[in-house]
Structure 1
């Protein structure tokens, strides 16, 4: 079993370089990818659409897709999604983005919780993803 931490090129560096975007565990003919929580930021680290949970969700999954792609995976490889929301009233907007991106049945396993706040002012949600890559691909 091989394990490594990675910050893929093409994805903005984590805040203060305090963590890795992805932990990869290569297992036989596949790999498990555990992504750090992602918030909706632009390439300079500024929050995108502070008052729009749907727009933030779209940006978050764009970042997630880029991290996954760097490891040979796609949103179709997502096994579990964990979401932290500052207001569960944003669930319909978030859910609409999720339904569009994860149309397969059944969708990935999921956990969603409301939290009092996130580390970045204006961030309405943070999303963690676990994905499985069926065959080991360069990453």
Structure 2
């Protein structure tokens, strides 16, 4: 198994030098698993931040030949779980097929004080 850690130039760069945005695990059959670090985005509202997060995830996945349709697991951290439906409304615009496995947590704080949502995903990229 080969592991590649990456910060694609096409995506917003990490907010810290202490992590990589994507870990790609090559499988023997030519497929790959992508582990994408938690992403936050700027915006005044939860909806704006959620949209920005999914736009960034789209770019990160595309840099490795994947789309949001390849996502098999998603973890979401919200600073206010009572706003889950607001988050879900935006999420459903981006994840339109069969929903991936999912966990959602309420976190008292995220990496940046202004962040209301953080999302990390795992995607399965089929062999060529």
Q: Which interval holds the TM-score relative to the shorter structure?
A: over 0.9
Work out which of the residue numbers 104, 114, 119 in structure 1 matches 2:106: 114
- Report the Cα distance in structure 2 between the residues aligned to 1:119 and 1:16, rounded to whole angstroms: 10
Consecutive unaligned residues in structure 2, runs of 5 or more: none
The alignment partner of 1:57 has SS state of helix
Consecutive unaligned residues in structure 1, runs of 5 or more: 41-47
Equivalent residue number for residue 92 of structure 1: 85
Work out which of the residue numbers 111, 117, 126 in structure 2 matches 1:125: 117
Q: Does residue 59 of structure 1 match 2:60?
A: no
The alignment partner of 2:58 has SS state of helix
Alignment coverage as a number of residue pairs: 127
The alignment partner of 2:61 has SS state of helix
The alignment partner of 1:76 has SS state of helix
Equivalent residue number for residue 134 of structure 1: 126
Post-superposition offset of 1:92: 1.2
Equivalent residue number for residue 6 of structure 1: 6
Equivalent residue number for residue 36 of structure 1: 37
TM-score w.r.t. the length of structure 1 is 0.87
Post-superposition offset of 1:109: 0.7
- Report the Cα distance in structure 2 between the residues aligned to 1:101 and 1:127, rounded to whole angstroms: 13
Q: Does residue 71 of structure 1 match 2:72?
A: no
Equivalent residue number for residue 24 of structure 2: 24
- After TM superposition, where is structure 1 displaced by more than 6 Å over at least 4 residues in a row? none
- Report the Cα distance in structure 2 between the residues aligned to 1:6 and 1:77, rounded to whole angstroms: 18
Equivalent residue number for residue 101 of structure 1: 94
